[in-house]
């Protein structure tokens, strides 16, 4: 699997079968997934050596300014997926099926997933457990690999009564394990576990042969995922405890733009070196022309 020490051009492309077979209990390094929604972001995360790029519906909140993920459509995710795919990353591109794209008929679900695949995704992700089994089977039947997503599923924000940690009680934890097994049985090649106690994530991870990718699910998953804008400190309005910020790009960006504004206002920008100049001959010819005009 790709590691950050390996220059991008020497890396082998990450594939669905290689992810499916990747269990930490076999002594493998944890998988790394990071979101990206555009070409510059995709180049950054791919050059950093991540295994998977998730074109997440989190784009709604961290890029488009909505309060939840329910506002984005298949066309929105396809638009962002295409931008990521144009960079031809070595990382596997996961297209997130948005709300109401797989809560419809099986035929429409497959068509919606196909739209993301045609935009450049190599697999899709959907939220929910046993009730999604039929859709997962139909997608797998159509040769579309599926990543599951359990626990705190943001598309269920209203049903959950907010963005709340899930499976805190033993009965709910057992239901989560059953959901994970059902998704694996239906053909999911990996499962995101979001916002669940680490003991529960441990149980699910031990119960599955496919990898779990955690976010707010402790260290016992087979991999970890974070949202690009969270890990780079571009989004600092919300600070869930599972986010570790590795940079302060928002602070750095505000300081950089403020410095630019100050230089413009003081006349320090642009300098002579940052301007284009005529050749001496053209400059003289222009002066001559100007004096006659
Ligand atoms: O959309 C997203 O970014 C996600 C991750 C939080 C897993 O689904």
Measuring from atom 5 of ligand 1, which residue has the nearest CA?
56
Please tell me the predicted confidence (pLDDT) of residue 1: 46
pLDDT digits 0-9 by tens, 249-276: 999 999 999 999 999 999 999 999 999 9
Q: Which of 47, 75, 169, 194 is catalytic?
A: 194
Looking from the CA of residue 96, the nearest atom of ligand 1 is 1
Instruction: Give the position of tokens 């396809």.
Output: 78
User: Is residue 209 one of the residues assigned to a domain?
Assistant: yes
pLDDT digits 0-9 by tens, 229-253: 999 999 877 778 999 999 999 999 9
Q: Is the pLDDT of residue 142 over 90?
A: yes
Q: Which residues line ligand 1 (CB under 6 A)?
A: 35, 54, 56-58, 96, 192, 194, 215, 225, 227
User: Is residue 286 one of the residues assigned to a domain?
Assistant: no
Ligand 1 centroid to Cα of residue 227, in Å, is 7
Average pLDDT, the chain: 95
Q: Is the pLDDT of residue 204 over 80?
A: yes
User: Is residue 263 one of the residues assigned to a domain?
Assistant: no
Write out the residue range of the structural domain in which residue 154 sits.
Answer: 8-251
Q: Is the pLDDT of residue 5 over 70?
A: no
Ligand 1 centroid to Cα of residue 58, in Å, is 6
User: Is residue 291 one of the residues assigned to a domain?
Assistant: no
User: Is residue 264 one of the residues assigned to a domain?
Assistant: no
Is residue 194 flagged as an active site residue? yes
Do residues 134 and 165 lie in contact, with contact meaning Cβ atoms separated by under 8 Å?
Answer: no
| Secondary structure tally for the chain: helices H, strands E | 12, 8
User: Is residue 224 one of the residues assigned to a domain?
Assistant: yes
Per the structure, the count of domains in the chain is: 1
User: Is residue 67 one of the residues assigned to a domain?
Assistant: yes
- CATH number, position 173: 3.20.20.60
Looking from the CA of residue 56, the nearest atom of ligand 1 is 1
Looking from the CA of residue 227, the nearest atom of ligand 1 is 3
Strand ranges (DSSP E) for the chain? Answer: 31-35, 52-55, 92-96, 123-125, 146-151, 190-194, 212-215, 223-226
The dihedral through the CA atoms of 148, 151, 157, 163 has a sign that is negative
Instruction: Give the position of tokens 């990071």.
Output: 34
Please tell me the predicted confidence (pLDDT) of residue 293: 67
Q: What is the mean pLDDT of the segment spanning 143-157?
A: 97
User: Is residue 228 one of the residues assigned to a domain?
Assistant: yes
């Amino acid at each position: 699997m790709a590691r950050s020490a390996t220059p991008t051009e020497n890396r082998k492309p990450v594939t669905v079968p290689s992810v499916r077979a990747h269990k930490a209990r076999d002594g493998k390094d944890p998988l790394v997934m990071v979101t990206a929604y555009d070409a510059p972001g995709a180049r950054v995360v791919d050059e950093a050596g991540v295994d998977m790029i998730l074109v997440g519906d989190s784009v709604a909140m961290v890029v488009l300014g909505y309060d939840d993920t329910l506002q984005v459509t298949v066309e929105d995710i396809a638009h962002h997926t295409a931008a990521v795919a144009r960079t031809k990353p070595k990382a596997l591109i996961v297209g997130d099926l948005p709300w109401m794209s797989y809560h419809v008929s099986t035929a429409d679900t497959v068509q919606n997933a196909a739209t993301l695949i045609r935009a450049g995704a190599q697999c899709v992700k959907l939220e929910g457990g046993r009730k999604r089994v039929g859709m997962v089977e139909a997608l797998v039947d159509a040769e579309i690999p599926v990543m599951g997503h359990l626990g705190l599923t943001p598309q269920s924000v209203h049903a959950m009564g907010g963005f709340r940690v899930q499976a805190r009680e033993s009965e709910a934890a057992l239901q989560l394990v059953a959901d994970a097994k059902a998704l694996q049985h239906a053909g999911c090649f990996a499962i995101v576990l979001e916002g669940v106690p680490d003991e529960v994530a441990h149980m699910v991870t031990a119960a599955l042969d496919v990898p779990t990718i955690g976010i707010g699910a402790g260290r016992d998953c087979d991999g970890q995922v974070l949202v690009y804008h969270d890990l780079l400190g571009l989004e600092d309005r919300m600070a869930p405890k599972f986010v570790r910020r590795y940079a302060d790009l928002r602070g750095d960006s505000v300081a950089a733009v403020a410095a630019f504004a100050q230089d413009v206002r003081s006349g320090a920008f642009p300098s002579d070196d940052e301007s284009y100049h005529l050749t001496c001959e053209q400059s003289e010819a222009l002066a001559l022309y100007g004096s006659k005009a």
